Amino acid sequence: MTPTTPAPSDTPRCPFSGQTASLTRREDHSPAPEPDLVVDGRGVYRVHGFGAAQGVLRSEAVRQAGFMAEAARDMGGLGRPPVLFEEGETHHEMRRSTARYFTPTQVAGYGPMIAALADDLIAELARRGEVKLDDLSLRLAVGVASQVVGLTNSRLPGLERRIMAFVEGGGDSEPGNAGPNPGRLAGLRQQAELALFFLLDVKPAIEARRRERRDDLISHLLDRGYGDVEILTECLTYGTAGMVTTREFVTVAAWHLLGTPGLRAEYVHGTERERHAVLHEILRLEPVVGTLYRRAETELSVAGRTVPAGSLLALNLREANVDPAVVGADAGGLCPGRPLPRGVQPQGLSFGDGHHRCPGAFLAIKESDVFLRRLLMWRDLEVVTEPRLSHNEVVKGYELRGFRVRLGGGRRA
């Protein structure tokens, strides 16, 4: 049953509503009611309603079908599938065993590392005067995720470029919708990129941890008897997920905050809890991954309709997160701390839900907050060029590039 929203008379008016609609939608959007579930011409069940999407994500009667999961299963030769693709008790056990790397207590332990990295990036901005913010956000995301995963022994610089090569190579990750065959040359290029990532980044990290374990994911995988190829696939899923998505979120959050002075002031001078509320609300409005996919393993009921076993479900998070029946009549505006029904997270479904919910959710918000607060404390920080907006069909989300910012006389807020 879809949760109910507070009565309009009980809902406080948000001072930012109307000023801060989504910056990443390709078209003007008002959260007008849409059918919670529609079936397209290919037989894909497209879910738009929040309650219906949340129910699918929490169901044990579906399996992961996004992020090339089905193609990876068909490929074979990977040993144990990465945790992102696993299901059932194997998946639950793996999630339990790695949860300690992402708890609030563990993330607090990463605090000095995140702060030092953020300080270095802000110092670079101060020295150069003008930078592309999306480049800084990539370096932040890669720096943090590489420490957590254990990718800290690369033989050559350029880990950022090698990671981005996996999501910028084109293609469509929707099952059954890969589009034209990329050709032999593109296939060879992808294999070469994977080989470089393994030889320059993953293999030296494995060798270092075979000599001496550390408190990171690769050490944990070695303790569980994982082989080189299995560790490679986990590094791809954990690493790219943490790096690519956090990069885009930090960029879009800065875009919102720099464009709305009142919101920026509330964020910079707020408590950590208040700042996180701002970031969660931006993420609700701007989910980095816009669509999640699940395959029905048995017949199930979604939004009052029967979905046959074997059907593909495409969960539209962008639409679900602005479902007025759950979020409120001003769902398309940005209002930190908005009242929400029980069971609805402030970021909506942007981190997913159920047993495949993003394990690094707390870490992503923490590192974003540490960096953005340091950045936005400089009162003379200004936008030189707003980012170019494009869409990435591999991650089913937006990309923001060329976001140039400039720092003047160095006055702090």
Asked whether 328 and 338 are in contact (CB, 8 A), the reply is yes
- The average confidence (pLDDT) of the chain is 85
Q: What is the pLDDT of residue 391?
A: 92
Three-state DSSP class for 208?
A: helix
189 CB neighbour count, 10 Å cutoff = 14
Whether 5 is in a domain gets the answer no
Asked whether 193 and 199 are in contact (CB, 8 A), the reply is no
> What CATH number is given to the structural domain containing 197?
1.10.630.10
Whether 267 is in a domain gets the answer yes
Q: What is the pLDDT of residue 326?
A: 95
Whether 2 is in a domain gets the answer no
Q: Tokens for 138, please give them.
A: 């990539």
Q: What residues contact 116, with CB distance under 8 A and at least 6 apart?
A: none
Q: Is beta strand 404-407 parallel, antiparallel or unpaired with respect to 300-302?
A: unpaired
pLDDT digits 0-9 by tens, 147-169: 999 999 999 999 999 988 877 76
- The range of the structural domain enclosing residue 179 comes to 31-407
Asked whether 323 and 295 are in contact (CB, 8 A), the reply is no
The amino acid occupying position 252 is V
Q: What is the pLDDT of residue 179?
A: 53
Question: Which of 16-20, 21-25, 339-343 is predicted with the least confidence, judged by mean pLDDT?
Answer: 16-20
Whether 137 is in a domain gets the answer yes
Q: Is beta strand 388-392 parallel, antiparallel or unpaired with respect to 130-132?
A: unpaired
Q: Is beta strand 312-316 parallel, antiparallel or unpaired with respect to 291-296?
A: antiparallel
Q: Is the pLDDT of residue 387 over 70?
A: yes
Q: What percent of the chain has pLDDT over 70?
A: 81
Whether 147 is in a domain gets the answer yes
Number of domains, the chain: 1
Q: At what angle do helices 361-376 and 240-259 cross, to 10 degrees?
A: 40
